Structure 1
Amino acid sequence: MARIASESLIERLAEWGVDTVFGMPGDGINGIMEGLRRHRDRVRFVLVHHEEAAAFMATGYAKATGRIGVCLATSGPGGIHLLNGLYDAKLDHVPVLAITGMQETAVLGTGYQQEVHLDKLFADVAEYNMMITNPAQLPSLVDLAVRTAYARRGVAHLTLPNDIQVADAGADPYRTVAPVRAPETAPIYLRPSGLPRQADLARAAEVLNSAERPAILVGQGALHARQEVLAVAEALGAPVVKTLPGKAVVPDESPYTTGGIGLLGTRPSEDLMDDADVLFMVGTNFPYSTFLPEPGNARVVQFEADPARAGTRVPTDVPVVCDAKEGLRELLPLLTPRNGDGHLAKYQKLMAKWRSDMDALENPDRDPIAPQYVMSVIDDLAADDAILTCDSGTIATWAARHWTIRGEREFYLSGTLATMAPGLPYAIAMQHAFPGRQVIAYVGDGGFAMLMAEFLTAAQHQLPVKVVINNNNSLGQILWEQMVLGYPEHGVRFGRPEADYSTWARACGGFGAKVTQAGDVVAAVRQALAHDGPALVDVDVNPNEPPMPGKVSYDQAKSFATAFLKGQPHKAAIATTLFKDRIQRLGD
């Protein structure tokens, strides 16, 4: 059997260490599917039910493993469906390779069926973007695509016309004048040095040692640098604030952390940003500058791996290009250890009060069920090395505040894109990558409904993912955003009949439980975690529970009140919930 060009593609991916491709077949990639079939002993194809999920899976795989994630889609509509997941990879800076099909070269430009020039469509999302028009380009272009995805921490895209996919491997029908050089047998990726310049380190240390009220802000670029972050925090006597994608950098029970930042963050973190005279940003380019110190109020040092992003978010006194772990390790000997001066102790006290407030909201006696309680049950029962994935929306608030990072726990969500629906695909990809670990998808009913067919994917691939649905029968985050803008709610509640997603789980051959009473939450979650296959718990929660910011501004409160006056249809229930929350925080 003649060796086809698609085999050259798959072989080269295998040589780069790719062991999994997430995707969905179509007539535009039949040749690539044949290449995968012929090399199924080296690269596994994970069949999904929607191409968007394939891109999310590739992104989740890359986030959790640090290795390139690969997704595959057919020409036209299939490739278009990848885009949301690929933008998630682009904005969160993880390496993903998208492979798509294309019509035969002989008909390109004729308006042929499903003729969408995906290389042009992907021009914004992809760091490397190429249509293969000659089999001789493979595997060199695979090397360039993979290298670029790793080096620029983003998306690469290769699209192959049907006739190229099945052409003889290595054929050069055009008698190319330039010599076609075969790439090296073993691909090598040369990572840029993660070591900072000594002069930059000295300047950074000077600023940090001068701080009286230091603060450290860490993000996903420091996930591998927990011990170094804690050592620097100890030396500086500095509280550590965590972005949501960087939640797992340090344990939530650490005496050095004040938790998250932003709308989903904590009040102590917001107070710290207002108080700090030096901010040390490590492994983050936190985009919401309104939550950072006002320009001129604090000097800023930033450790950033990408030279293009170093010092671009806020006025930065010392931008340093380096890997977080290596940079902190080199910085530590230059720091002057501080004696206790009350700065750290102040925020430890504030954080103890915040934790007490959050614990009070995890009340099992509230009716309807409090979403904070559901998240606390997951937190109590999950393993110390569990991976939690999350969708965007109000659930991100509950996860941010009630999922405790301890041991080797991890946490993933769509950070900058903040898209709905990646929670379940992420979980499937991570369960595939780490078959021995507990992987839990904590999702909303809106996000789950978008890609719920992927629960069947989990069952068909025998992946024991656990799904807990925070079911408020609404688009909860948008409801509250409308109110903050001063508008009565509109178009955010789904109405009746209300969904029972546990029936879908059972129809797929998995475990499914519907919970409507708080007293049944613990037993249902415990059963789901113990089940040896995919499991789903659908919990009806209070739809009027507000995801309040850690620190409510006057303008937010004013807009909230204005929405009530304009005729908020659920104002009685919302007011009751707010009153109960306040009472709980004052101490049961």
Structure 2
Amino acid sequence: MARIASESLIERLVEWGVDTVFGLPGDGINGIMEGLRRHRDRVRFVLVHHEEAAAFMATGYAKATGRIGVCLATSGPGGIHLLNGLYDAKLDHVPVLAITGMQETSVLGTGYQQEVHLDRLFADVAEYNMMITNPAQLPSLVDQAVRTAYARRGVSHLTLPNDIQVAEADADPYKHVAPVRLPQTAPVYLQSSGIPRQEDVEWAAEVLNRAERPAMLVGQGALHARQEVLAVAEALGAPVVKTLPGKAVIPDDSPYTTGGIGLLGTRPSEELMEEADVLFMVGTNFPYSKFLPEPGKVRVVQFEAEPTRAGARIATDVPVVCDAKEGLAALLPLLSRRDDTAHLAKYQRMTAEWRADMDALENPERDPIAPQYPVSILDELAADDAIMTCDSGTVATWAARHWTVRGGREFYLSGTLASMANGLPYAIAMQHAFPGRQVIAYVGDGGFSMLMAEFLTAVQQRLPIKVIVNNNNSLGQILWEQMVLGYPEHGVRYAEPEADFSAWARSCGGFGAKVTKADDVGLTIGQALAHDGPALVDVDVNPNEPPLPAKVSYEQAKNFAQAFLKGQPHRAAIATTLFKDRIQRMGD
């Protein structure tokens, strides 16, 4: 049996440490599927139900492991479906390789069926983007694609025409004058040292040592640097604010953190951004600059791995290009330990008050069920090394404020892209990567319904993921965004009948339970977590619970009131919910 070019592709991926490919077959990749079949003892192919899920799985795999995620789709519509998940990888800076099919080279340009030039379509999303036109290009271009994905922390794309996929692996049909030179060295995992220049570290230390009211802002680029972040925070006496993708950098119960920032953040974090005289940004390119200190009123030190992102959000006095862990380790010996802890103590008191306010909203007596309550139960019952994946929407607010990172817990969501539907595919990929850990997808009804077929994937592959659906029968985040703009809600609540996703879970062969009363939340989530296979709990929550920002601005309050005056259809229920929230935060 002749060795085909697709085998060369798969074999080179194996040399790069790839052991899993997420995808959906089609006639445009039958040759690649044959390459995978011939090497099925070396690479696991995870069959999904939608290509978008495959791309999300590759992205989630890369986020959780630090290794390149690989997804595979057929030509035309299959490749098109990958794009949303690939943009998630691009915007959150994780290495992903997308492999797609293409029509035979002899018919390209003729308007053949499903002829979509995916290399052109992927031009914006991909850092490296190439159509293979000669088997001799493999494995050299695989090396280029993987190296680029790692080095630039983004997406690479290779598309292979059908005839190239099944050609003999060593064929060079064009008899080139300059023959392709195959790589002479085996690939190695690409990880730059990230060590900063000494003069830059000394410059950063000088600014930080002069700070009277320092603040640290840490993001996902510092997820591997927990001990270094805590050590620097202790030396500076600096409160630490965490971006949502960086929620797991340090524990939520750490005495150094004030919690999150932005619309889903905390009041202490917002006030710290207003008061700080020096801001130390580590591993973050936080995009919402309106939540950062006013330019000119604070000095900024930034540790950033990518030179083009240093200083992109706020005027930066000391931009240092380095890996977060390497940079903090080099900085720590140069810091003058702060004896005056009054600044830190002030924010510790404020954070304790904020947490008490949030705890008060986790009320089991509310009917309909307050959405804060189920996630608080999940937080209480989940393992200390659990991985939570989260969809975009109001669920992100409840997770940000009521899911506690402690021990070895991790937290992942679609950060900069803020896509819906990522939570379930992420969970499947991470359960593949960490079969011994508890993996929980905390999702909304809107996001879950988009890719709910992947729960069947989890059952078919015997993956014990747990799915908790925060079901408000609406697109809750958009509802509140409409009102904050001053408009009555429109087109954001689903009609009757309301979805019962637990029935779908049971029909797939998994555990499925519907919860409509708060009294049943704890027992049912406990049963789901204890189940030895895939489990789903669909919880009906109050659709009129607003995900309020930590500090409501005058403009937001005015627009909210205008939405009521213009005819907000559920204003009575919303007003009642707001009143109950206010009473409970006062101590009920």
RMSD: 0.6
Cα drift, residue 180 of structure 1: 1.3
Partner of 1:572: 572
Partner of 1:441: 441
Q: Which deviates the most, 173-182 or 548-557? A: 173-182
Counterpart CA distance in 2 for 1:302 and 1:135 is 45
Q: Deviations over 1:468-500 (max 9, x none)?
A: 000000000000000000000000000101100
Counterpart CA distance in 2 for 1:185 and 1:376 is 52
Counterpart CA distance in 2 for 1:90 and 1:137 is 25
Partner of 1:345: 345
Task: Give the structure-2-normalised TM-score.
Answer: 1.00
Aligned ranges 1:376-525 → 2 under 5 Å: 376-525=376-525
Counterpart CA distance in 2 for 1:448 and 1:361 is 25
Unaligned runs of 5+ in 2: none
Cα drift, residue 193 of structure 1: 2.7
Counterpart CA distance in 1 for 2:44 and 2:229 is 37
Counterpart CA distance in 2 for 1:405 and 1:499 is 31
Counterpart CA distance in 1 for 2:564 and 2:223 is 42
Cα drift, residue 190 of structure 1: 4.4
Counterpart CA distance in 2 for 1:128 and 1:567 is 51
SS in 1 for 2:300: strand
Q: Deviations over 1:159-194 (max 9, x none)?
A: 000000000002100011112112135212443231
Q: Which deviates the most, 177-186 or 194-203? A: 177-186
Partner of 2:88: 88
Partner of 1:207: 207
SS in 2 for 1:21: strand
Partner of 2:121: 121
Specify the code of the residue in structure 1 equivalent to 2:405: I
Task: Tell me whether 1:108 sits opposite 2:108 in the alignment.
Answer: yes
Counterpart CA distance in 2 for 1:454 and 1:188 is 33
CA contact (8 A) 2:263 2:549 kept: yes
Specify the code of the residue in structure 2 equivalent to 1:435: P
SS in 2 for 1:35: helix
Counterpart CA distance in 2 for 1:5 and 1:414 is 35
Partner of 1:248: 248
Task: Tell me whether 1:143 sits opposite 2:143 in the alignment.
Answer: yes
Cα drift, residue 341 of structure 1: 3.9
SS in 2 for 1:80: helix
CA contact (8 A) 2:133 2:161 kept: yes
Cα drift, residue 312 of structure 1: 1.6
Cα drift, residue 139 of structure 1: 0.4
Counterpart CA distance in 2 for 1:429 and 1:3 is 30
Cα drift, residue 375 of structure 1: 0.5
Cα drift, residue 217 of structure 1: 0.2
CA contact (8 A) 2:150 2:190 kept: no
Counterpart CA distance in 1 for 2:184 and 2:83 is 32
CA contact (8 A) 2:245 2:411 kept: yes
Counterpart CA distance in 1 for 2:136 and 2:154 is 26
Counterpart CA distance in 1 for 2:290 and 2:150 is 31
Aligned ranges 1:59-458 → 2 under 5 Å: 59-458=59-458
Partner of 2:558: 558
Cα drift, residue 310 of structure 1: 1.2
Specify the code of the residue in structure 1 equivalent to 2:112: Y
Specify the code of the residue in structure 2 equivalent to 1:187: P
Name segments (4+ residues, structure 1) moved above 3 Å: none
Partner of 1:3: 3
SS in 1 for 2:427: helix
Specify the code of the residue in structure 1 equivalent to 2:202: A
Counterpart CA distance in 2 for 1:420 and 1:108 is 35
Q: Deviations over 1:437-492 (max 9, x none)?
A: 00000000000000000000000000000000000000000000000000000000
Counterpart CA distance in 1 for 2:359 and 2:176 is 69
Q: Deviations over 1:350-405 (max 9, x none)?
A: 00000000000000001100100011000000000000000000000000000000
Partner of 2:50: 50
Counterpart CA distance in 2 for 1:478 and 1:178 is 58
SS in 1 for 2:313: coil
Specify the code of the residue in structure 2 equivalent to 1:511: F
Specify the code of the residue in structure 2 equivalent to 1:348: Q
SS in 2 for 1:72: strand
CA contact (8 A) 2:99 2:157 kept: yes
Counterpart CA distance in 1 for 2:403 and 2:192 is 34
Counterpart CA distance in 1 for 2:64 and 2:277 is 34
SS in 1 for 2:309: coil
Q: Deviations over 1:540-565 (max 9, x none)?
A: 00000000001111000000000000
Identity of aligned residues (%): 85
Unaligned runs of 5+ in 1: none
SS in 2 for 1:130: strand
SS in 1 for 2:46: strand
Counterpart CA distance in 2 for 1:548 and 1:313 is 25
CA contact (8 A) 2:26 2:74 kept: yes
Counterpart CA distance in 1 for 2:206 and 2:330 is 14
SS in 2 for 1:533: coil
CA contact (8 A) 2:60 2:430 kept: yes
Counterpart CA distance in 1 for 2:76 and 2:421 is 22
Counterpart CA distance in 2 for 1:472 and 1:580 is 18
Q: Deviations over 1:53-99 (max 9, x none)?
A: 00000000000000000000000000000000000000000000000
Counterpart CA distance in 1 for 2:93 and 2:354 is 32
- Count of aligned positions: 588
Specify the code of the residue in structure 1 equivalent to 2:394: T
Counterpart CA distance in 2 for 1:431 and 1:371 is 26
Counterpart CA distance in 1 for 2:191 and 2:516 is 51
Task: Give the structure-1-normalised TM-score.
Answer: 1.00
Specify the code of the residue in structure 1 equivalent to 2:336: T
SS in 2 for 1:177: coil
Counterpart CA distance in 2 for 1:572 and 1:451 is 34
Partner of 1:12: 12
Counterpart CA distance in 1 for 2:338 and 2:149 is 41
Specify the code of the residue in structure 2 equivalent to 1:319: P
Cα drift, residue 138 of structure 1: 0.2
CA contact (8 A) 2:500 2:514 kept: yes
SS in 2 for 1:251: coil
